[in-house]
Amino acid sequence: MTATNSEALAPAAPAGEQLTVRRLRRRGRTVAAVLVGAATLGIAWSFAANPNLDWPTVGAYLFAQLTIKGVWVTLYLTVISMLIGLVGGTALAVMALSDNYVLRAVATGYTTLFRGTPLLVQIIFWGFFGAFFPQVTIGIPFTDVVFYSEQTSSLISATTAAILALGLNEAAYASEIVRSGIQSVDPGQREAASALGLGPAATMQRIVLPQAMRVIVPPMGNEVVNMLKTTSLVSVIAGNDLMTNLQQVYSGAHRLRPPERRRRTHRLPAGGHRPARIGREGHRQAAQPHRHGLPAVQPLPAPHRAAEHHRGTAPRAA
């Protein structure tokens, strides 16, 4: 009878006794865990005990009507933009893989243009689209026949401009994800579908795309999270999202804005904040109760304002 390797290497235990297995102590991991935990607690305490952070005001605005409305608009922008991006990206991916040169050129040009242009520039372009085309007209070119005509400002609102910018930009990125998923399917699947009499459209819909989903879905999940964070950029055109609504709240404050911290609470992976303008009107607005019936963020005391006003200014020579 031959013993296995594990049985041969295991020490022989005395009769009637069992060996006690102890875990290997890794002191390096323990030290690293203590250091990371201490650093995390220190950072959390620095925010919690900071006297410049007005946490009661944060709690007052946390579930305010203005905040909840901004959250819903942010989710609405995310869902609609992702749907536009997914549908448009699928169409662009099919065009990029087509044998037609014109379709390939258009898809490549679209992807290069929208991926190579900053998203903030695209948002501003659609937000001020009426400055380039004051009126939208549909008719027969080079004739006086007009089927439809309307002012651009009435057709493209701030929310519509945000959806167009986010959706069209997402289509360029989604097209590359879908294209890689389609190319991951074995070419033999198309040959088998063709042998069964399926056309190109039916093959793509029933055979190729279902198998490509295993490659498409994971990166698309990342795109959804990224889109949720990117919606804060539409505040530059007052897109009525969460960031836009909170800017209206803390625009008159003269210190670190508590509603901005609450925005990070609602949108967990969100990015940085935009500084608000400070002026005499802001002090008057901060001293008055907010129009939504919630406590307003009070400005800093006079000595702090004077110190900030003269901060960084050198004394002039007599």
CB 223 within 8 A of CB 173: yes
Contact 275, 306 (CB under 8 A): no
- CA-based angle 134:136:142, to the nearest 5? 110
Query: Do residues 193 and 203 make contact, with C-beta atoms less than 8 angstroms apart?
Result: yes
Residues 6 or more apart in contact with residue 273 via CB below 8 angstroms: 257, 260, 263
Phi, psi at residue 170, to the nearest 5°? Answer: -65, -30
Distance set, CA 90 to CA 119, 169, 177, 205 (Å): 20, 13, 9, 11
Model pTM?
Answer: 0.68
Q: What is the pLDDT of residue 161?
A: 92
Q: What is the mean pLDDT of the chain?
A: 79
pLDDT of 267: 54
Q: Is the pLDDT of residue 8 over 60?
A: no
Tens digit of pLDDT for each residue in 218-247?
999 999 999 999 999 998 988 888 888 888
Mean pLDDT computed over 200-221: 90
Look at residue 15 in the predicted model and tell me its pLDDT.
Answer: 62
pLDDT band at 110 (very low <50, low <70, confident <90, very high): very high
Would you state the pLDDT for residue 283?
41
Question: Which pLDDT belongs to residue 265?
Answer: 54
Q: Mind giving me the DSSP string for 94-155?
A: HHHTSS-HHHHHHHHHHHHHHHHS-HHHHHHHHHTHHHH-SEEEEE-TTSS-EEEEEEHHHH
- What pLDDT score was predicted for residue 63? 83
Q: How far apart are CA 132 and CA 113, in angstroms?
A: 19
Structure-token match 């701030």, residue found: 158
* 126 and 165 Cβ atoms separated by less than 8 Å: yes
pLDDT tens digits for range 157-177: 889 999 999 999 999 999 999
Q: What is the pLDDT of residues 258-294, one digit of tens each?
A: 555 555 555 554 444 444 443 444 444 444 444 444 4
Across residues 122-141, what is the average pLDDT? 89
